[in-house]
Amino acid sequence: MSGLALPVPVNYTKLGAEPLRTIAGSTFTGAYQQLSPLAFPAVILRFLNNSSVAVTISYDGVHDADVILAGSEFTLNIAANRTTNFFFNLPKGSPLYIKASAGTGSFYVASYYAY
């Protein structure tokens, strides 16, 4: 995966949130669909699947990374459990892709960043 996150010194004291990314289940095509790239380096991603179908997540649009079952949620705390004075993030500009069959309801991605 290109653009791997680099360690950043821990000197941030606030948490910011990007606008919520939403896609309607009725627009799922069975192929990867790109959501808007990250505007800030993400330290937490939260996936909420309020659709009627399982949704596959990818960070490159080619390889499946995770599956979020219908009616469930998953929080990826990228900066948790650090063992040094640094934390890790998913870099600014990183794309997010989802793949699912058409369904009902919506799928949401919340992205949080440190500043």
46 pLDDT higher than 60: yes
pLDDT for position 90? 92
20-114 has which CATH code? 2.60.120
pLDDT (average), residues 50-74: 98
What does the pLDDT average to over 15-34?
97
3-class DSSP assignment, residue 26? helix
Q: Which residue has the tokens 């390889």?
A: 63
- Res. 1 pLDDT band, cuts 50 70 90: very low
Q: Residue 15: name the closest of 74, 87, 81 by CA.
A: 87
What residue spans define the domains of the chain?
Answer: 20-114
For the whole prediction, is pTM greater than 0.95? no
The mean pLDDT of the chain is 90
Mean pLDDT lowest among 39-43, 73-77, 84-88, 108-112: 84-88
How many C-beta atoms surround the C-beta of residue 90 within 10 A?
23
Q: Please list the residues that pair with 13 across neighbouring strands.
A: none
Report which of 26, 27, 66, 31 is spatially closest to residue 47, judged by C-alpha positions. 66
Contacts of 86 (CB under 8 A, 6+ apart): 7, 8, 9, 10
- Distances from the Cα of 41 to the Cαs of 6, 38, 84, 90, 110, in angstroms? 10, 7, 19, 5, 13
Reply yes or no on whether the pLDDT at 4 is more than 90.
no
